[in-house]
Amino acid sequence: MRYVLLNKPFEVLTQFTDENGRATLKDFVPIPKIYPVGRLDFDSEGLVLLTDDKPLQHRLSEPRFKVPKTYWVQVEGVPTEEAIATLRRGVDIKTSFTAPAEVELLPESPAIWERPKPIRFRANIPTSWLEITISQGINRQVRKMTAAVGFPTLRLVRVKIAHLEVENLAPGQWRELTAPEAAKLKAAFSATKMPAERQVLSKEAKTKTASGPAAPGAGAPARKTFKPAPSNFKRPAGSDQSPKGSSDRPKRGPKTSRPR
């Protein structure tokens, strides 16, 4: 299996082909049969994970698995505390309502590479940077969120996927994950965890975990099990079931034949 991190440059498609001749991942990653996990917009920059591990790719791309992604976002103006609180709670972006997010106003501009095309500047309007972490997969979500609170996005850079960071990768550079990085990612999100992360339970242990939650430190959390609701029916007193082979009904007499 191959696991590759790429710092996607500005105005590069997160795919390997394009009918219109625009730059694609093929121009930077010469590895066949690997595919991007999720997407990063043409006009956004930063971290993209590529792999040929299809179960892992599915889980990392599926919003219900809530993989956190962190962005540095340059916005027009300086967001107020009220705007930041709204971003944290969730924002109405017309087509849907965003889930709560982690949002911080950075005290200064991050040390980051220059973009080939400078952002638009307005003489009388300052810019500022936010750090936003989300786990949804709504198209152009961060841009819609900042616009909804009155601070349009000017530049968007993804700097982290789960525990993986862009670090020292320059735009267009890529590297393969180390063995510990890949193992940690698979242990957290793969359809089948690494053998070292699994725990085989005895029949007795399985019975105990099915009857209630595992005690702290007792290993993996118990799998959810369907439990039928308790019945309100009570057997009348004295009507206990008789031992097998006996009956409370009177015994029949000897069988006689009727005259024909």
Q: Which residues are catalytic?
A: 41
Residue appearing with tokens 């498609």: 13
CA-to-CA distance for 183 and 205, rounded, in angstroms? 27
Q: DSSP per residue over 132-148, as a string?
A: EEE----TTHHHHHHHH
- Given its phi and psi angles, is residue 150 left (phi above 0), alpha (psi -120 to 50 degrees) or beta? left
Tokens of 255: 């069988």
Beta-carbon contacts of 198 under 8 Å, excluding residues fewer than 6 positions away, are 220
Q: Tokens 């939650």 correspond to what residue?
A: 213
Give the N- to C-terminal CA distance of the chain in Å, as an integer.
Answer: 89
- Strand ranges inside the chain, DSSP E: 3-8, 35-36, 45-51, 69-76, 102-105, 127-134, 153-161, 164-165, 174-176
Residue 101 is encoded by which pair of tokens? Answer: 């997010």
